[in-house]
Amino acid sequence: MLAREPQEENVADQAKAELKFNDKSLELPVVVGTEGERGIDIGKLRAQTGMVSLDPAYMNTASTKSAITFLDGERGILRYRGIPIEELAEKSTFVEVAYLLIYGHLPSKQELSKFSEALTRHSMLHEDMKRFYDGYPGTAHPMAILSAMVLSLSSFYPQALDVKNHEEQEATIARLVSKMRTIAAFSYKKSIGQPFVYPRNNLSYCANFLNMMFSVPAEPYDLDEEIVKVLNLLLILHADHEQNCSTSTVRQVGSSQANLFASVAAGICALWGPLHGGANEEVLSMLEAIRADGGGPKKFVELAKTKDSGFRLMGFGHRVYKNYDPRAKIIKVAADKVMKKMKQPDPLLDIAKTLEEAALNDSYFVERKLYPNVDFYSGIIYRALGIPTNMFTVMFAIGRTPGWIAHWKEMTEDPTTKIFRPRQIYTGSALTHYVPLDQRA
């Protein structure tokens, strides 16, 4: 990484990149970000050379300029709107961080209370939506339900379809942030055969979610303030991560001017995969498997190094972090704290720590710069809070919602946004002709 003084965002660097091909040469502008990141702007490449760039999996491609989150994977830095994740984790709440991401600044007292009130007012689901839950089998994965329900919101709030109407979008944003937790809690209640618990207006965002998840009409439910705090922390840590797979999906879908509910429903699907948000569920299964095996984590470290085993250490490695994921550091400390509070500490935490140590001292992981990511310890905390394993990725989705919204909003409000439409290099058959069925070999 080039060391540079921070400077104004998007100021064109003095330097230009030069691309030569055969006898042609092309000067390409260099775009510089606030923290000195440089990108070669190839926007005119095809128009001027007839060629496109090829970058499978976007390993080298910045798909957009964005002012939301700064991430330096080499130095393990993560900041939302310029504020270090460590400060937000220690001092803020999820609702405040949601505001920060979506609206670009920390809210004043008045702004925060207006936003919180909007979240409170929009927390219930339309009664007809409750019936949707009856159509799902008891075995339905809650991520499938979550995505379908979020998409369904666009049929109950057709105002959301007018993506250029900023006033309507304000209500859509509040509805989405607020109803995510209600949808999630209802799908849990459905899966265990308990009655839905309605949101309560006198509770904070996280307390309300815990109450909808764990209270029953038959007896009072005591909310533990420390647990509420831990949940705030986990949601803050998951709230945004710049152009990750699900956020890029939200942007991709939103670039066609699809409404916010539809765009986020697509993001939820992208998040579900085990290489992305689904990893937190996989980490737990892996730790359970290590416990059941009884032979200790080393065997699994060896297995992860054997390519044809098809096994990877889940919760390890990251496309961008080539250093310890700062979120994982914070979660590890929180996991320790939560465990100290529990009457019976979870043996999976010890297994996770031994596994981490074994991997971090192994040359395979050291050479490839593979460190624990955000998913490595989060599942252990969710488990301690009583959240079932198949809800882990749903928890991630609740946390990531403000980030998805912030990116969708940034893109939709940018007058230069065009529909995302990548090119390809075609490698199929050259021109060939239709053969009638009776003449085919």
Q: What residues make contact with ligand ACO under the rule CB under 6 A?
A: 275-277, 279, 304, 312-319, 368, 370, 373-375
Q: In angstroms, what is the minimal distance from the CB of 392 to ligand ACO? A: 11
**316 and 370 Cβ atoms separated by less than 8 Å:** yes
Q: In angstroms, what is the minimal distance from the CB of 325 to ligand ACO? A: 8
Q: Work out whether the CA dihedral 219, 224, 225, 230 comes out positive or negative.
A: negative
Is 122 labeled as catalytic in the residue annotation?
no
Convert the chain into a string of H (helix), E (strand) and C (coil): CCCCCCCCCCEEEEEEEEEEECCEEEEEEEEECCCCCEEECCCCHHHHHCCCCCCHHHCCCCCCCCCCEEEECCCCEEEECCEEHHHHHHHCCHHHHHHHHHHCCCCCHHHHHHHHHHHHHCCCCCHHHHHHHHHCCCCCCHHHHHHHHHHHHHHHCHHHHCCCCHHHHHHHHHHHHHHHHHHHHHHHHHHHCCCCCCCCCCCCHHHHHHHHHHCECCECCCCCHHHHHHHHHHHHHHCCCCCCHHHHHHHHHHCCCCCHHHHHHHHHHHHHCCCCCCHHHHHHHHHHHHHHHCCCCHHHHHHHHCHHHCCCCCCECCCCCCCCCHHHHHHHHHHHHHHHHCCCCCHHHHHHHHHHHHHHCCHHHHHCCCCECCHHHHHHHHHHCCCCHHHHHHHHHHHHHHHHHHHHHHHHCCCCCCCCCCCCCCCCCCCCCCCCHHHCC
End-to-end, the C-alpha distance of the chain in Å comes to 57
**158 and 261 Cβ atoms separated by less than 8 Å:** no
Is 55 labeled as catalytic in the residue annotation?
no
Residues 6+ apart with CB under 8 A from 362: 301, 305
Q: Which residue has the tokens 């979550």?
A: 146
Q: Please pick, among 375, 407, 414, 433, the residue that the annotation labels catalytic.
A: 375
Q: Looking at beta carbons only, is 60 or 165 nearer to ligand ACO?
A: 60
Q: Please pick, among 122, 141, 241, 318, the residue that the annotation labels catalytic.
A: 318
**90 and 232 Cβ atoms separated by less than 8 Å:** no
Q: In angstroms, what is the minimal distance from the CB of 298 to ligand ACO? A: 14
For ligand ACO, the nearest residue by Cβ is 317
CA 53 to chain centre: 27
Strands 24-32 and 38-40, bridge-based pairing: antiparallel
Q: Looking at beta carbons only, is 107 or 372 nearer to ligand ACO?
A: 372
Q: Looking at beta carbons only, is 208 or 373 nearer to ligand ACO?
A: 373
Q: In angstroms, what is the minimal distance from the CB of 220 to ligand ACO? A: 36
Which residues are catalytically annotated? 318, 375
